[in-house]
Chain A
Amino acid sequence: MVYFNFIEQILISALILVCIGSFTWELSKRFKLVLKGEGTLPFDNIPARLWRVFEEFLLQKKVLQQRFIPGLMHAFVFWGFIAFALITIDHFFRGYNTALFTDSTRYFYSLAFGIPWSFLVLVGILYLAYRRFYLRPKYLGEKISYTSGIVAIFISTLMITYMIDAYWIVYDSHPSALTFKINWWIHAILILLFLFLIPRSKHLHLVLSPINIFFKSFDTPNHRAVPIDMEGDEEELEKLLTGMGKLTKSQTLDIFSCVECGRCTEVCPANRGGGVLDPKHNFILDLKNPIMETNSVDVVGNINVEAGWECTSCQACTEACPVGNEVEKADETRNLQVLVEGNVPQEYQKLFMNLQTTGNTEGSTSSSLSEKLPIYDGTQDFVLWLGCFSKYALDPKYGDSVISLTKILDKAKITYGILAKEKCTGEPANKLGDKLTYNMLMQENLETLKEVKKIITMCPHCSINLGTEYAKYEKIEYEVYHHTEVIEDLIKNKKITINKNNNDKVTFHDPCNLSRGMNVTKAPRTAINASCSNFKELDENGKNTLCCGAGGGLWWKKETVGKTHLVRAEQVIESGSDTVVTGCSFCYGMMNQGLGPLTPQDQEPIKVKDIADLVAENLS
């Protein structure tokens, strides 16, 4: 063994202390900022959280899913990192003339893990460098990232120095002390410099991502409730208003965990439609410097307002993020604009006014659909919650789909009734920042729903609000079901039988509120597979679905910079399907709006159906 003298050990110790000290200092600075955030970090459901860390962090599930080859290359580097953990510790021990491994262990460990992984890591990092600096994919940004360059050089050199070391071990050759030490010092210094670099760059994700993934919410989205009590005192209101400008602890941790990969922007429907919104910058990176410079988390005001209004709140960004970020912050910026600044786009002012004066989005006083349906009198199985879209015919044909559902329920001998006092769940107000109107509608609906036990609705926007969102404010006693869940249940329990009569080329557009918001992807497919013989998935399906563009209150937006609402319609047309089925009233409406103008002249117009229509058509 090559011997390290006392001076060298002092030097090693000093360097270790300085680098670990700097690392710890920078890390603690950021943790202090995280702790300044609102709310608490969650510790519930620990087994599920740990499992998620295992899948997403250790197994690199999301990294691999979005971009397979680069993801695999990254996985090599990451897994290599883990394989090298013990080797690195052993390396430093040797500076103190001791060892973690015996010689024979080191020999076998090198052969079995060290050398293979060093190759994989080297291939990985070189490919990633080639991709970033030569291919220059647009989601990684315009600017060249110097830290990435430095890291690439560091890792490559580390691997090479390791390989040299491993060669010596395996071939039992004895290099001169000088050669050995030069190799050793290069390796050691690079590792220590790495420690220096990590907290100051996006490479902090190495440390933070498992923690961030652990603390990620199970609800998507997961915005804070904003309970507004008009009768409350001024101080409470002041606190509420100042709180609105602040990020939560979890959101602050997200900013530091961000690895700047751009997957969020890549999947964003607004961005893909040509809009201004770029989630990576607008919702995450733009906030980093303000946080560091002001040493506070009062940075919601730094979010680009125009970009904030373009978001459909579809959560594709959150779903795609490999480090567990809850990216979307449209809710926060809109709350600020509406409640604190009073800057509301004109078309939304009318919407809010309609909700306030008539309890529905259209300012209407009558609903022809409501007149066709029985009233809930407390005895029926379900309250059939219609939602404003159906009631006021935001798409003139959707009312027929509601009737289709009633046919299915009738067949299964399930009773239902509509609420005469049904008011808008308030979802548009909730999503657009008018939490005052939202609170008002919620209180009224909760009063109406006091004795109700089960609700069925066709609109996932309604079901999410009646369920998850209301529950953030008050304890709710009822259960809400999306109609596809009920239909699946009926199929499984043989309460209805469906004939596989549909031979059209059918595809399914997963509503983002249903797949990501409610975690429901299997139920609609049960119905489709029972009724269709020729079902083909769209490329972006299930939890990776591409939003139709109507979410986040955008159905009512008159002017948009981009064409968010057309991207998915184009995909449906390109799929060559005859029929597109969906499970949300807004998706239904958007498909009709997008498909019509976009379908080429020579092509047959694509049929748009709801799951209820499909099932009702094929009931035996």
Chain B
Amino acid sequence: MKILVLIESINNKIHPVSIEALVAAQSIASENSVEIYPLCLNKNLIDDLSKFKCTKVLNVENLDLKNYEPMTYLDAAEKVFKSMDADLIMFGHTYETRDWAPRLSARLDIPFLSDCININLSDSKLIINRPIYQAKLIQKIALSGKGLVSFQAGSFSSENLLHENSPSESLSIELNSYDSIKQGERFQESAGGVDLTTSDFIVSIGRGLGKEENIPLAQSLADKINAQIGASRPVVDAGWLDHSRQIGSSGQVVSPKLYFSLGISGAIQHLVGMKGSKQIIAINKDPNAPIFEIADYAVVGDVLEILPKLTENL
């Protein structure tokens, strides 16, 4: 089986989710005859990639890297896949890959299993788990044949990455030009703001806090334990807090020592942003809140009752 692992780059470094995809590929290669080909589109990554255990690092050398170009990436991936007669492409589930991977799926006429959390290979059948219904349930899919698989951030740990010097090869591929999609500049809207990714302790606010007026209660607790304030998307949408506080797939991804969530139900977009936290305490009224699935300590109760007393007690 030939697996291409698509390597995304961020700030000229290997994107962490791509490492995780590589770990995923390595995890099924161990007991089977599987060839792994990291495919990167940025030559600055070749050296680092060559330190990881794989069959060969591939780099498309004539790709214009200044901007992400969906149709060019599509073109490159299609051509490499076909020329190598690969079976599978694995990659991280990011806003970038989900923009063009479905087109690749249609072009190659192979299914795309997105946002997966697990993969196993037995009898040349891949068994892949992915969350459904906002991660309340898991779907087990059998892929027998070619396919694309993207992995949810945090599903595999970079600690499990196997290191070994591997060869590399630069490919020169004739790519079609196109002008149907012209990507523009990237920009930020919230000016600066807090970098929660470096915080050790985060107290995070959800809709369960009730009203904006209750935020001081959370702030008091945060002050007591030297934590930063984070928030779920609905709280930011409602204007209670600035976007820079948002944690989740369209906010910041954090992995602090402590993530203390208040009144957050745990929608998957939020969990993705914080499930890597070392310790998670969650308070929510709803005993079935998904956040309890990943919490270390769970309290089914009224945040507004507990908060002031806890703050006072500390």
Contact = CB atoms under 8 A, between A and B. Distances in A.
A596 B308 contact: yes
A396 B305 CA distance: 11
Contact of A597 (B285, B302, B304, B312): B304
B285 A396 contact: yes
A601 B302 CA distance: 19
B210 A593 contact: yes
B304 A593 contact: yes
B213 A566 contact: yes
A569 to B, nearest CB: 10
Contacts of A592: 304
A148 B238 CA distance: 45
Nearest to A565: B211
A597 B217 contact: yes
- B interface residue count range (under 10 / 10 to 19 / 20 to 34 / 35 or more): 10 to 19
B214 interface: yes
A597 B213 contact: yes
Interface string B71-95: 0000000000000000000000000
Most buried by A among B210, B213, B312: B213
Interface in A393-428: 396
A596 B305 contact: yes
Contacts of B212: 559
Interface string A368-403: 000000000000000000000000000010000000
B238 A558 contact: yes
Nearest to A346: B237
B192 interface: no
A505 interface: no
A563 interface: yes
A146 B238 CA distance: 44
Interface in B185-226: 210-214, 216-217
Interface string A542-582: 00000000000000001100010110000000000000000
Chain A: interface secondary structure?
helix
A593 B211 contact: yes
Contacts of A559: 212, 238-239
Contact of B213 (A396, A558, A563): A563
- A interface residue count range (under 10 / 10 to 19 / 20 to 34 / 35 or more): 10 to 19
Nearest to A598: B213
Nearest to A393: B285
A415 B239 CA distance: 49
Contacts of A566: 213
Interface in B270-314: 285, 302, 304-305, 308, 312
A6 to B, nearest CB: 77
Contacts of B216: 597
A164 B220 CA distance: 72
Contacts of A597: 213-214, 216-217, 304
Contacts of A601: 312
Nearest to B301: A396
Contacts of B285: 396
Contact of B302 (A396, A563, A565): A396
A298 B217 CA distance: 48
A593 B302 CA distance: 11
Nearest to B308: A596
Interface string A580-605: 00000000000011001100010000
Contacts of A396: 285, 302
A597 B209 CA distance: 11
A565 B211 CA distance: 10
A396 B214 CA distance: 18
A50 to B, nearest CB: 47
Given A593-B304, A596-B305, 13 more contacts: A396-B285, A558-B238, A559-B238, A559-B239, A563-B213, A565-B211, A592-B304, A593-B210, A596-B304, A597-B213, A597-B214, A597-B216, A601-B312
20 contacts: A396-B302, A558-B238, A559-B212, A559-B238, A559-B239, A563-B213, A565-B211, A566-B213, A592-B304, A593-B210, A593-B211, A593-B304, A596-B304, A596-B308, A597-B213, A597-B214, A597-B216, A597-B217, A597-B304, A601-B312
Give me the 6 closest cross-chain CB pairs, A-B, nearest first.
A596-B304, A597-B214, A558-B238, A559-B238, A597-B213, A593-B210
